[in-house]
Amino acid sequence: MDILNNIVLILQRYWDLFLEGIGVTLLLSAIAVGCGVIIGSLLALMRLSKWHIGKVRPLNLIATIYVEIIRGTPLLLQLYFFFFLLPMMIPALETSASFSITLALCLNSGAYVAEVIRAGISAVDKGQTEAARSLGLSAGRTTVKIVLPQAFKIAIPPMVNQFIITLKDTSILTIIGLAEIVNKATQYVSVRYDYFATYVWVGIFYLVFTSLLMILAHYMEKRLSYDRKGSRS
């Protein structure tokens, strides 16, 4: 009973502290995924590019190397690189902690979103591309007007899942000291020593938001499946 009372008291007395941390967490996640969509779209198009010099496809090669490096290394290592190592190597790039962390999250998200969008583009019926080209549309206009809108529609559910992953990944930022929700909770327990009740609230926050996002992703997936069936009939 005492534990339950402590959980309620924490929310009543320190809701503003946790609300600030929640705001930072959601803002960082939204910025990371938003930038990730832009970066990922460019990377996806680069990976699908057929432009070549001899037998080498430079755009494809650059995008592939970038995606493999980001996906093949831990996010924490990437955060350390942008926060500590890069300013040491190039002092002119020394910026605020918030900018370095946001940049690392955006570049990390971009690599994963690139694969989501690439899969979406590959899922678009090639017959539509051929039909558009036969009507006189250039390759660029076909991609922008026909392929990408459908690819984004197909990629929405996986991108919601990517938002969930990014939301949970922000908890790592407490190591660097950014004031997201886990960091705020750690600040509180360092003074009040109420570990259990405090981290229960943090867990509830993540569970509620990820559950809502999973419901959204499931609804979009069902809607997309329904639209596909309708278009075929």
Nearest to 151 by CA among 50, 45, 55: 45
* pLDDT the model gives residue 8: 67
Residue 194's domain comprises 2-232
Does the pLDDT value for residue 93 go beyond 70?
no
Average pLDDT over residues 183-204: 77
Residue with tokens 């650059």: 62
* pLDDT the model gives residue 189: 74
Question: For a pLDDT cut of 70, what percent of the chain falls above it?
Answer: 86
Query: How confident is the model over 28-49, as pLDDT tens digits?
Result: 999 999 999 999 999 999 998 8
The domain tally of the chain equals: 1
What CATH number has the domain bearing residue 226? 1.10.3720.10
Average pLDDT over residues 111-120: 92
Task: Give the whole-angstrom CA distance, residue 182 versus residue 99.
Answer: 19
pTM of this prediction?
0.80
Query: How confident is the model over 65-82, as pLDDT tens digits?
Result: 999 999 999 998 998 888
The H-assigned helical ranges of the chain are 2-48, 58-72, 75-80, 86-89, 97-123, 126-134, 139-142, 148-169, 181-192, 195-232
For the chain, the average pLDDT equals: 83
Task: Give the whole-angstrom CA distance, residue 211 versus residue 39.
Answer: 27
